[in-house]
Amino acid sequence: MADFNQILAPGDVDGGVVNVVVEIPQGSNHKIEWNRDLAVMQLDRVEPAIFAKPTNYGFIPQTLDEDGDELDALIVTDQPLATGVFLEAKVIGVLEFVDDDEVDDKVIVVPADDRNTGNAINSLEDVPPQLLKQIEHHFNHYKDLKKPGSTVVKGFGDAARAKEIIRAAIERWNNR
C-alpha cells in the first residue's frame, strides 16, 4: 500500500484547500488510525457505540500535530466516507482540543466541491449549531468510561486560526 505521507501533499493551505485522508467514517465506533510505519490503516480499538464519531475523521498528510501524530481533520458531509479515501477539502475552522494534556487539534473541513449543498458551507457559521454542539460534546466525553476528564475542548477557531495550526503542523513535519 502506498504511504499517503510520501505521495500526497498537504494541499494549498493559503488558498484554504487541503488534502485529507479518511480514517473513520461518520457514525463508526471503530478507532481506525493511519499506521505511518507500516503505511496502512489499522484498527486500533473498538469504542463503545455511544461514542461513534459525529463526523468523518481523518488527517492532513505531511503534517504533525503537537502530539506527534498527523494533524486530525473532521470532515463534515451528509453521508459517511470510506476509510482510505482522500479528498480535497475546504478549511472552515478548527476545534482546539487537549487530550491527556497534549494538544490534539481537529481542523474542520468540508469537501471542496459539494454540489449536494451547493458549496454552501464556507465557515463554522454555516454549520448547523446542533452539529457543533455534538462535536464539542463528543470530544469532551468520548474517553469518560476509560479516563474521565482526560479530554478538554478549548473552543472553536475560524479558518484563519485553522490555517495557522496547519502551517505549524507542516513545519513540524518538515523538521522531524
To the question of whether residue 67 is assigned a binding role by annotation, the answer is yes
Burial pattern 19-40, b for ≥16 Cβ within 10 A else e, equals: bbbbbbbbebeebbbbeeeeee
To the question of whether residue 36 is assigned a binding role by annotation, the answer is no
To the question of whether residue 114 is assigned a binding role by annotation, the answer is no
Residues 50 and 54: their CA atoms lie apart, in Å, by: 10
To the question of whether residue 100 is assigned a binding role by annotation, the answer is no
To the question of whether residue 72 is assigned a binding role by annotation, the answer is yes
Evaluate the CA torsion angle 122, 124, 130, 135 in order and state its sign: positive
**Phi and psi angles of residue 142, each rounded to the nearest 5 degrees, phi first:** -65, -15
Binding-site residues for Mg(2+): 67, 72, 104
Binding-site residues: 31, 45, 57, 67, 72, 104, 142
Binding-site residues for substrate: 31, 45, 57, 142
